[in-house]
Amino acid sequence: MSAQQPPKLAGINSPSSPPHQTVPPSATAPHQQPTVSPQPHPAEDPAGPALARPVEHLAAVQDRLAGWISDLTTLHDLTERLVRTDTLDGAVRETLTAGAALVGARRGLVALEPADGLGPDTTVGLGLGAADLGHIETVPRDSASYARLLDGLPEAAGPGSGDDPQEIAHPHIARDTTLDPRHREVAARLGYAASYAVPLVSRTTGRVGAAVWLYDEPAQPTERQRHLLGLYVRHAAEHIARQIDLTRARAAVTAVREDLLPGRLPRVPGVRLAVRHRTGPRGGGDWYDVLPLPEGALGLSVGGVTGSGPDALAAMGRLRASLRAYAVMEGEDPVAVLSDLELLLRLTEPARAATALFGYAERAAASAHPAGGGPGDAGSATRIVMAGAGHCPPLVVGPRRTEFAETTLSAPLGMLSCWEAPSIELLLAAGETLLLYSDGLLHRTGESMDRAFARLRSAAAGAAPAVRDDPEALVDHVLHTVLPDGRADADSAEDVVLLAARF
């Protein structure tokens, strides 16, 4: 008869019972018969229970290993999706989605509040609209779980700190009398019954924010779910911290670029102006300028430096400021202006090249009349003297013509030991518009330059008369006709400048 086995605990195999000890024959008492162990029945296998226990233990180990492998695979997939996000908003939304999947929730929010106070301070929701987030923000700060985490976190977490992140769980909000009544009211109105919140802390920059996931029914994550979420959130916090740094850097570059370019176009009698500027994600070096000059003249310029990023932006600012100074001194001679600019570029930026187009506009003499115009146009014509250095030719748009004003072929500034090229003279009738643009407008089409030039001319020629008479409407029409399907506003390595001057 088999010995009775002790019962198994949940999830734990009972230990093997010690083997039966038999007394050696020499140790038997006198006149006592040796103990004879009962022989097993031929149908019983004494090795059966002993073999079953290792098999069961091995199966349990395999199940545990399979669970670990499944968890690691899940974390790997989620973190791979996270690192593919390249914006702060994308990183936060991916963190919310992945966290909801790990803890079994449908909705949630992330409140960004970096410890250094430099922002951005914002709230992003998953399955929550702007009105829902507004309701949640009415919860007193000492009751809202994410706010309590933010207020209770240290300003910085030292590298290598082994402290586990805090967490706040509300398994049943409606029955939690420790919460503020407003908290329970908002939860009932929005239809969530439980919440689970964790902080977002980077080991290098400290506090980033806090995340909260909301359950439709009373619930709370299991220990395994909390463990997986903790591993994921540590990685997500570092990625979000990097995206915050990048967002701040982009904002700084944008602010500098806006300060380097004209804040608004000047008001010039007899001229209507409009401009559109689209820059690449790294901050390009294209510029535009409209400068009132002595004796009622007007200076128009567009250009760009090679490269991108802050160094190209700084070079662009220096060149634009220098061109303004040269234009004031000798603007009536555009060739001299660009020659001075080229000399400055070779002395201060020897490894950089630039393209530029500068025009000097003034009222034409009464005896002159523009090409294609009649004698009645003479008194209101505008004379423009223009020089270009490797830049695209301007486009003249009017009721009687739409044509490129071919400038002389010339290398960009900084490409030759000494730059000089003859200028050209344009006569524009009243109602005609001069379009100056950067080559980024053509490159963004993705077509050959010949086809891009044809597309640009066709877009301007196809504008309705009312559009041609309004520079603001004309630049919008040309921009979105040449670059349809959102390509005008999409991120690109190519800057776009489109400047219109209607005389």
Residues 375 and 296 in one domain: yes
Tens of pLDDT, residues 268-327: 888 999 999 988 666 578 899 999 999 889 999 999 998 877 788 888 889 999 999 999
Residues 474 and 340 in one domain: yes
Kindly state the average pLDDT of the residues 263-270.
87
Domain that holds residue 454: 262-502
What is the pLDDT at residue 8? 38
Q: How many domains does the chain have?
A: 2
Residues 239 and 353 in one domain: no
What is the pLDDT at residue 283? 58
Report the DSSP pairing between strands 402-404 and 168-170: unpaired
Residues 176 and 304 in one domain: no
Average confidence score pLDDT of the chain: 83
Tokens of 401: 């013509």
Give the model's confidence band at 19: pLDDT under 50 very low, under 70 low, under 90 confident, else very high: very low
Give the model's confidence band at 152: pLDDT under 50 very low, under 70 low, under 90 confident, else very high: confident
Residues 209 and 278 in one domain: no
Q: Answer whether residue 202 is part of any domain.
A: yes
Of 214, 383, 209, nearest to 295 (Cα)?
383
Q: Is the pLDDT of residue 127 over 90?
A: yes
What is the pLDDT at residue 282? 60
Of 239, 293, 254, 292, nearest to 110 (Cα)?
239
Q: Answer whether residue 41 is part of any domain.
A: no
φ, ψ (nearest 5 deg) of residue 115: -70, -25
Q: Answer whether residue 46 is part of any domain.
A: no
CA-atom Rg of the chain in angstroms: 38
Report the DSSP pairing between strands 298-305 and 286-292: antiparallel
Output the CA–CA distances (angstroms, integers) from residue 117 to 120, 155, 208, in the order listed. Answer: 8, 10, 10
Q: Is the pLDDT of residue 21 over 70?
A: no
What is the pLDDT at residue 28? 40
Query: What CATH number does the domain containing 112 carry?
Result: 3.30.450.40
**Could you say which of 184, 219, 253 is where a domain stops?**
253
Residues 283 and 217 in one domain: no
Give the model's confidence band at 263: pLDDT under 50 very low, under 70 low, under 90 confident, else very high: confident
Q: Is 503 exposed, middle or buried (0-12, 13-18, 19+ CB in 10 A)?
A: buried
Give the model's confidence band at 361: pLDDT under 50 very low, under 70 low, under 90 confident, else very high: very high
Strand partners, 435: 395, 500
The whole-angstrom separation of Cα 476 and Cα 494 is 18
Q: Answer whether residue 27 is part of any domain.
A: no
What is the pLDDT at residue 278? 86
- Tell me which H or E stretch contains 397: strand 395-397
Tens of pLDDT, residues 61-114: 677 777 678 788 888 999 999 999 999 999 999 999 999 999 999 999 999 999
Instruction: Report DSSP state, residue 445.
Output: T
What is the pLDDT at residue 259? 75
What is the pLDDT at residue 461? 94
pTM here? 0.63
Q: HEC states along 162-218?
A: CCCCCCEEECCHHHCCCCCHHHHHHHHHHCCCEEEEEEEEECCCEEEEEEEEEECCC
Kindly state the average pLDDT of the residues 489-500.
84
Give the model's confidence band at 193: pLDDT under 50 very low, under 70 low, under 90 confident, else very high: very high
What is the pLDDT at residue 313? 83
Q: Answer whether residue 49 is part of any domain.
A: no
Q: What percent of the chain stands above pLDDT 70? A: 82
CA angle 200, 227, 188 (to 5 degrees): 65
Asked if residue 479 lies in contact with residue 488, where contact means CB atoms within 8 angstroms, the answer is yes
Q: Answer whether residue 38 is part of any domain.
A: no
**Could you say which of 253, 280, 296 is where a domain stops?**
253
Give the model's confidence band at 153: pLDDT under 50 very low, under 70 low, under 90 confident, else very high: low
Asked if residue 428 lies in contact with residue 403, where contact means CB atoms within 8 angstroms, the answer is no
